[in-house]
Amino acid sequence: MKYAAITERLAHLGGAKWELHIEAKARRARGEPILSLSIGEPDLPPPPEVIAAARESMDAGRLGYSNGRGEAPLLEALARRYSRRTGREITPRQFVAFPGTQTTLYAVLTTLVGPGDEVIVGDPLYATYEGLIAATGASAVMVPLKPEHGFRLQPADVAAAITPATRLLFLNTPHNPTGAMLRPEEIAGLGALARQHDLWILSDEVYEELTFGNTPFVSPFDSADLAERVVCAASISKSHALPGFRSGWCVGPEDFTARLLPVAETMLFGNQPFIADATALAVSAPSPIAPQMAQAFSRRAQILHRMLDGRAGLRVNQPEAGMFALVDVRATGLSGIEFAWSLLDQERLAVMPGESFGAALAGWLRLGLTVPDDMVAEAARRILRLAERVREAA
């Protein structure tokens, strides 16, 4: 039997990157006491008023079909939010609502690029980005994000990667897995390249509200001279601790959303109205729980740094936002994959190998910061024990 070409493009870009996480879950289900820091699922409860809004909406009968773009109250709330953020008028017709950021990114990329096109993206990158790009038939052009630049995408490196086939620059700020945040001058430099080469900019901003306070969040969409070529994607999954709601959106030029809409309608003809109503409430003001989450994640990253950095050859990258920290284990002589599997087998600790997020993180680990402080400290002790054993055996 024959299959569509997309199945070949995605054949090696699926769940294999999450193999260790999946195995750890299976072991926990069998009763093993696995300590898991492998994914980023907020450990605080969501705002009760958002849950109440969804419940009240369901009780009011908001259970029918929606439309392809999204419910009017949500689109209007988003327009007010982004108008405040940018300082210019953003209209409801500049948005399309989706079930989560992942679906949003798939639809946006499908609208903007196709076979023969190139998409420039930083390496490391979120584990699904390669598949999202490959699904369109476009090619991902990886630009290394270097530790000496704080894992931030540098305009000079992007300029060297641009070819006549380049169509889109894929940004993620704040960044997963590094926690890096682009600076205004970097956004300006990347924007200048986009104007010079007539490129789209797609910016995944799902961690916008989970910053640690020292560095302000900056978006390319907020620059009026870039607005005609920038599309932003976000959701309430992280900011409001509601990953299961699957409620996201994109914002961009009106001409773009008009072209996106038929693509969106072939995927899901309208979000659930009761979830849209709850999301409208959620985005109408800053998240009431995001500052508390950011404070906790920052504190836990500092715990890892204090307990591990400089010991047994380990190095800890200090994130500026998000819910992850990176540990460099290259001095042990093991790859990130080898070290992570040894942690699971010998220390019953589940973390993600850096290789799941690109070649630039070979020899690193990504640790989720969404467990209590004492568990983060215990994870650090287990990592240090393994690192010391490996170095003693070398």
Query: In this predicted model, what pLDDT tens digit does every residue of 38-53 receive, in sequence order?
Result: 988 888 999 999 999 9
Our count of domains for the chain comes to 2
Question: Final residue of a domain: which of 282, 304, 334?
Answer: 282
Highest averaged pLDDT of the listed ranges 5-14, 256-265, 268-277: 256-265
Whether the CA torsion 316, 220, 72, 66 is positive or negative: it is negative
Residues 120 and 40 both lie in one domain: no
pLDDT reported for residue 393: 84
Are 371 and 43 in contact, with CB atoms under 8 Å apart? yes
Is the pLDDT assigned to residue 15 strictly greater than 80? no
pLDDT reported for residue 270: 77
Q: What are phi and psi of 233, to 5 degrees?
A: -125, 145
**What sections of the chain are H helices per DSSP?**
5-9, 19-29, 48-59, 72-86, 101-112, 129-136, 155-161, 184-197, 254-267, 273-282, 290-308, 336-342, 373-393
Q: Which neighbouring-strand residues pair with 95?
A: 251
pLDDT digits (tens, 9 = 90+) for 257-271: 999 999 999 988 878
CATH of residue 52: 3.40.640.10
pLDDT reported for residue 269: 81
For residue 249 the two structure tokens come to: 């959106």
Residues 76 and 156 both lie in one domain: yes
pLDDT digits (tens, 9 = 90+) for 347-373: 999 999 999 999 999 999 999 999 999
Question: Final residue of a domain: which of 282, 315, 347?
Answer: 282
CATH of residue 27: 3.90.1150.10
pLDDT reported for residue 271: 82
Burial bucket for residue 333 (CB in 10 Å: 0-12, 13-18, 19+): middle
Residues 97 and 180 both lie in one domain: yes
Is the pLDDT assigned to residue 207 strictly greater than 90? yes
Is the pLDDT assigned to residue 14 strictly greater than 80? no
pLDDT reported for residue 85: 97
Rounded CA-CA distance 209/222 in Å is 15
Is pLDDT larger for residue 75 or for residue 15? 75
pLDDT reported for residue 11: 85
SS (H, E, C) 220-285: HHHCCCCHHHEEEEEECCCCCCCHHHCCEEEECCHHHHHHHHHHHHHHCCCCCHHHHHHHHHHCCC
Is omega for the bond preceding 184 within 30 degrees of 0, making it cis?
no
Kindly state the percentage of the chain with pLDDT values over 70: 100
- Residue 214 binned pLDDT confidence (cut-offs 50, 70, 90): confident
Kindly state the percentage of the chain with pLDDT values over 90: 91
Rounded CA-CA distance 86/152 in Å is 23
Mean pLDDT of 379-387: 98
Rounded CA-CA distance 352/333 in Å is 18
Residues 263 and 307 both lie in one domain: no
Residues 41 and 110 both lie in one domain: no
Q: How far is CA 304 from CA 84, 277, 316, 334, in A?
A: 37, 39, 7, 20
pLDDT digits (tens, 9 = 90+) for 297-313: 999 999 999 999 999 99
Is the pLDDT assigned to residue 224 strictly greater than 90? yes
- Residue 392 binned pLDDT confidence (cut-offs 50, 70, 90): confident
Is the pLDDT assigned to residue 102 strictly greater than 80? yes
DSSP string, 323-350: SEEEEE-GGGT--HHHHHHHIIIII-EE
pLDDT reported for residue 123: 97
- Residue 213 binned pLDDT confidence (cut-offs 50, 70, 90): confident
Residues 37 and 85 both lie in one domain: no
Please state, rounded to an integer, the average pLDDT across all residues of the chain: 95
Residues 39 and 140 both lie in one domain: no
Residues 224 and 371 both lie in one domain: no
Residues 202 and 53 both lie in one domain: yes
- Residue 334 binned pLDDT confidence (cut-offs 50, 70, 90): very high
pLDDT digits (tens, 9 = 90+) for 167-192: 999 999 999 999 999 999 999 999 99
Structural domain range at position 23: 5-45+289-393
Question: Final residue of a domain: which of 282, 298, 332?
Answer: 282
Residues 105 and 17 both lie in one domain: no
pLDDT reported for residue 342: 97
Residues 131 and 152 both lie in one domain: yes
pLDDT digits (tens, 9 = 90+) for 341-350: 999 999 999 9
Residues 238 and 92 both lie in one domain: yes
